[in-house]
Structure 1
Amino acid sequence: MKAFVTGGTGFIGSHLVEALVDSDQYSEVRCLVRNKDKWLNGLNYQKITGDLNNFKALSNGLENADVLFHVAAIVKAPTKKEFTRANVEATENLVRLAQKKGVKNIVLLSSLAAAGPSNGSPKTETDPMEPVSMYGQSKKEMEHRVKQIATKSDSIKIIRPPAVYGPREDQIFSFFKSCSRGICPIIGDGNNPRVSMVYVSDLVDGIITAAGITDTGIHTYFISGEGTHSWNEIRSVTSKVLGKRTIPLKIKPKLVKKAASVIENISSLFGIYPVVNKEKANELTLEWTCSSQKAQNEIGYVPQTSLAEGISRTIHWYKIHNWL
């Protein structure tokens, strides 16, 4: 089979491309690349130069393709308009073009953020979607837009992961970096709020497995790791892997929001939109858990990586590449 991948130079996308290149099922892997190959350097793939606004490049990538993996998205932006343009409109245009090119097997990466925070029990696919950020709202709107334009012959799989960690990840990385210096920042009391996490290779397995399901219609799946976790548990595992004692720095949710507001205001003076912003702070104070039971029942997805193994692999990679 021939695959076309968007977002292949990013964290999740690069791991997906590696797995597709190594798979006997895919004879050709094409990737949309805006500038540099980044993590794809040295891999046996076909480079399609362009971005999501370049219809000629997208058309070339989709030509005679069997599967479209749409991973590209933006996760932070100062305005809803930017999120809508990148995550909603670009996805709609890509799906419409895929339909014109006869590509029926489509896998789209969404997010738990589209469903919104949980409240004592993990989110399932039947729960109402209640996003609390512009990013989450854009992913929810993307899902709705795709449902509106889907045809009866399309087989569209929407994948919603929770927090994704692993080698090359550069946002949750800040947590591990702080722990490596002996300080473990924890929002709340350490037991609540709880979180779902998924190691990147497990997410990739879920994405590729979903692509193997060609039943028509729209199929939505949460792809998560085993169970849910408290930050005390995550701290304990991280400290053990690092081989050092970490001091928990427990931060009240209100202080998180105030600090984010200050950081965002200062950054705006330099024309920068920071990773730690008011919207992100609001998300960090809530519970984010989901269940992969539907994916296990329908596509046979089973996470293979324990939290301890995943964190160990991640920190090992950070050390080898001098991130820690």
Structure 2
Amino acid sequence: MKAFVTGGTGFIGSHLVDALIASQAYTEIRCLVRSSDKWLTGKDFKKVSGDLNNIQAITEGIDGVDVIFHLAAIVKAPTQKEFTIANVEATENLIRVAQRKGVQNIVLLSSLAAVGPSFGDPVDESDDFNPISMYGRSKVAMERMTHKIASPNDSIKIIRPPAVYGPREDQIYTFFKTYSKGICTMVGDGNHPRLSMVYVSDLVDGILKAAQKNDTGVHTYFISGADTYNWNQISAITGRVMGKKALKIKLKPSMVKKLAAVIENTASLIGKYPVVNKEKANELVMEWTCSSTKAINELGYSPKVSIEEGISKTIHWYKKHNWL
């Protein structure tokens, strides 16, 4: 089979490309690359230069492919319009070109952020949309648009992961970097809020299994780890792997929001939009858990990497590559 991948130079996308290259089922992997090859440098793939606004590049890239993996998106931006352009309109461009070219098997990456936080029980595919961020709202719009324009012959799978971690990840990484310096910051009392997490290779496995589902229609799946976790658990595992203890600093939700406001306002003075911003703070203080039961039953998905193994692999990669 031939595959076309967007977002292949990113954290999750590069791991997907690695898996596609290693798979005997795929004979050619084409990746849409806007600028630098980044994590794909030196790997066996066909480069399609351009971005999702370049209809000609997309058209040429997907010509003759069997499956499209659309992972490209932005996760932070100062306005809803920017999210809409990158996450909704670009996805629509891709789907419509795929329909013209007769490519029916499409896997789209959405997010738990589309459904929003959980309140005691993990959310599943039957829960209504309740996004609390511009990013989440853009993923809702992307999903709704997909249902609206899907043709009767399309087989589109929407994947919603929670927090994804592993080698090459650079946002949750901040927690490990701070811990390595002897400080462990966490929101709440350490036991709450709880969160779902998925190790990147498990998410990739779920994505690949979704591509094998050829039923027509639009199908949605949460792909998560085997359990939910709290920051006390994550901190304890991190300490064992690093072989050190760190001073725990537990931040009240109100303090997190105040700090984020200061960081965002300060960054705006130099024309930047920081990773830690007011919207991100609103997410950090909430519970984010989801259930993979549907994916387990329909796709045969089964998370294989425990939180202990995943954190260990992640930290050792950071150390090997001098991130820690």
TM-score range for the pair, normalised by the shorter chain length: over 0.9
CA distance in 2, matches of 1:302, 1:42: 31
Q: CA deviation at 1:192?
A: 0.5
Q: CA deviation at 1:246?
A: 1.6
Q: Which moved more, 1:241-250 or 1:304-313?
A: 241-250
SS of residue in 2 equivalent to 1:301: coil
Matched, 1:166 2:156: no
Residues 7-46 of structure 1 aligned to structure 2 (within 5 Å):
7-46=7-46
Q: CA deviation at 1:247?
A: 1.7
SS of residue in 2 equivalent to 1:190: coil
CA distance in 2, matches of 1:239, 1:152: 52
Aligned residues: 324
SS of residue in 2 equivalent to 1:249: strand
Equivalent position of 1:121 in the other structure: 121
SS of residue in 1 equivalent to 2:143: helix
Equivalent position of 2:310 in the other structure: 310
Equivalent position of 2:101 in the other structure: 101
Amino acid at match of 1:20: L
Amino acid at match of 1:269: L
SS of residue in 1 equivalent to 2:220: strand
* Structure 1 residue ranges without an equivalent (≥5): none
SS of residue in 2 equivalent to 1:174: helix
Equivalent position of 1:86 in the other structure: 86
TM-score where L is the length of structure 1: 1.00
Matched, 1:212 2:212: yes
CA distance in 1, matches of 2:46, 2:200: 23
Equivalent position of 2:75 in the other structure: 75
Q: CA deviation at 1:108?
A: 0.0
Equivalent position of 2:266 in the other structure: 266
Q: CA deviation at 1:42?
A: 1.3
Q: Runs ≥4 in structure 1, deviation > 3 angstroms?
A: none
CA distance in 2, matches of 1:275, 1:151: 37
Equivalent position of 1:323 in the other structure: 323
1:126-147 CA deviation, whole Å, 9 max, x = no partner?
0011000000000011000000
CA distance in 2, matches of 1:37, 1:22: 18
Equivalent position of 1:280 in the other structure: 280
CA distance in 1, matches of 2:262, 2:77: 17
Q: CA deviation at 1:152?
A: 0.7
CA distance in 1, matches of 2:263, 2:92: 34
Equivalent position of 1:254 in the other structure: 254
Amino acid at match of 1:167: P
Equivalent position of 1:47 in the other structure: 47
CA distance in 2, matches of 1:123, 1:100: 35
Equivalent position of 1:227 in the other structure: 227
SS of residue in 2 equivalent to 1:196: strand
Amino acid at match of 2:14: S
1:266-285 CA deviation, whole Å, 9 max, x = no partner?
10010000000000000000
Amino acid at match of 2:239: S
1:236-278 CA deviation, whole Å, 9 max, x = no partner?
0011001001221100000000010011011001000000000
SS of residue in 1 equivalent to 2:65: coil
Amino acid at match of 1:217: G
Q: CA deviation at 1:227?
A: 0.7
1:67-112 CA deviation, whole Å, 9 max, x = no partner?
0000000000000000000000110111011010100000000000
Amino acid at match of 1:107: V
Amino acid at match of 1:4: F
CA distance in 2, matches of 1:247, 1:292: 34
Equivalent position of 1:291 in the other structure: 291
SS of residue in 1 equivalent to 2:221: strand
CA distance in 2, matches of 1:62, 1:131: 32
CA distance in 2, matches of 1:97, 1:59: 6
Amino acid at match of 1:188: G
TM-score where L is the length of structure 2: 1.00
> Aligned-pair RMSD on alpha carbons?
0.5
SS of residue in 2 equivalent to 1:244: coil
Amino acid at match of 2:282: N
Amino acid at match of 2:301: Y
Amino acid at match of 1:174: T
CA distance in 2, matches of 1:38, 1:132: 32
1:10-31 CA deviation, whole Å, 9 max, x = no partner?
0000000000011000000000
